[in-house]
A and B are shown apart, each in its own frame.
Chain A
Amino acid sequence: MDIGLLAQYIMNGLMVGMMYALVAVGFTLFFGVLDIIQFSHGDVLTVGAFTALMTFLGVRAAGVGSGSILLLAMVIVAIFAVAALGMLIARYLVLPLRTAPALNTLLITLMLGTVLRESVRLFYPQGANPKPFPGLLPTNSINFGNFNLRLDNAIMLTAGTAVIVGVELLLNRTKLGLAIRAVAQDEETARTMGVNFTAIVLIAFAIGSALAAFAGIMNGLYYNEINFGMGLYLGIIGFAAAIIGGLGSIYGAILGGFLFAALQTIGTVALPFGSAYKDVFAFAVIIIFIAWRPTGLIQEKISERV
Chain B
Amino acid sequence: MSRGLKTATVILAAVWLVAVVPADAKDKIKVGFIGPLTGGVSANGLGGRNSADLAVRLRNADAKAKYEYELVVLDDECKPNVAVQVATKMAAEKDIIAAATHYCSSTAIATVDVYHKFGLPVVVWGAVLPDITYRNKYAEVHRVNGTMINQNEANAELVTRLGYKTFAVIHDTTDYGKGHNEYFSAALAKLGGKIVGTFGVGADQQDFTAELTQIKALNPEVIYFGGLTPIGVRIRAQMDKLGIKAVFDGTSGIVSDAYIQGLGPLAEGTLAFREGAPVEKLPGGKVFMEKYTAQKYDNPPEAYGAFAYAAMDLILDSIEKVGPDRRKVIDDLAKVKNRDSIIGKITLDDHGQNTVSFITKYVVQDGKFVVWEDSEYASGKRKLPRQK
**Interface SS, B side:** helix
Write the nearest CB–CB distance from A79 to chain B, whole angstroms: 22
Write the nearest CB–CB distance from A28 to chain B, whole angstroms: 22
Report if B39 contacts A (CB, 8 A): yes
Report how many residues on chain A are interfacial, defined by Cβ distance under 8 Å.
Answer: 40
Q: Do A126 and B261 contact each other (CB < 8 Å), given the known contacts A146-B216, A227-B230?
A: yes
Interface membership of chain A positions 121-147, coded 1 if the CB is closer than 8 angstroms to chain B and 0 otherwise? 100001011111000000001010010
Interface residues on chain B, size class: 35 or more
Report if B202 contacts A (CB, 8 A): yes
Chain A residues 16-31 with CB under 8 Å of chain B are 16
A128 engages B209 (CB within 8 Å): no
B210 engages A264 (CB within 8 Å): yes
* Partner of A275 from B42, B199, B234, B258 at Cβ < 8 Å: B199
A130 engages B216 (CB within 8 Å): no
A118: chain B residues within 8 A (beta carbon)? 38
C-alpha spacing A190/B273, complex, angstroms = 65
Report if B238 contacts A (CB, 8 A): yes
* Partner of A5 from B202, B213, B238 at Cβ < 8 Å: B213
* Partner of B40 from A223, A227, A264 at Cβ < 8 Å: A227
Chain B residue with minimal CB distance to A127? B42
A234 engages B213 (CB within 8 Å): no
A15: chain B residues within 8 A (beta carbon)? 209
Write the nearest CB–CB distance from B215 to chain A, whole angstroms: 10
B200 engages A276 (CB within 8 Å): yes
A181: chain B residues within 8 A (beta carbon)? none
Most buried by B among A9, A141, A278: A278
8 shortest A-B CB distances, which residue pairs?
A276-B200, A268-B210, A129-B258, A12-B209, A128-B42, A130-B262, A275-B199, A148-B243
Chain A residues packing against B (C-beta within 8 Å): 2, 5, 8-9, 12-13, 15-16, 118, 121, 126, 128-132, 141, 143, 146, 148, 150, 219, 222-225, 227, 229-230, 233-234, 264-265, 268-269, 273, 275-276, 278-279
Chain B residues packing against A (C-beta within 8 Å): 38-40, 42-43, 46, 173, 199-202, 204, 206-207, 209-211, 213-214, 216-217, 229-230, 233-234, 237-238, 241-243, 257-258, 261-264, 299
30 CB-based A-B contacts, threshold 8 Å = A8-B213, A8-B242, A9-B210, A9-B213, A12-B209, A12-B213, A16-B207, A121-B38, A126-B43, A128-B38, A128-B43, A129-B258, A129-B262, A130-B233, A143-B243, A148-B242, A148-B243, A223-B207, A223-B234, A223-B241, A225-B233, A227-B40, A230-B206, A233-B204, A234-B206, A265-B210, A268-B211, A275-B211, A276-B202, A278-B210
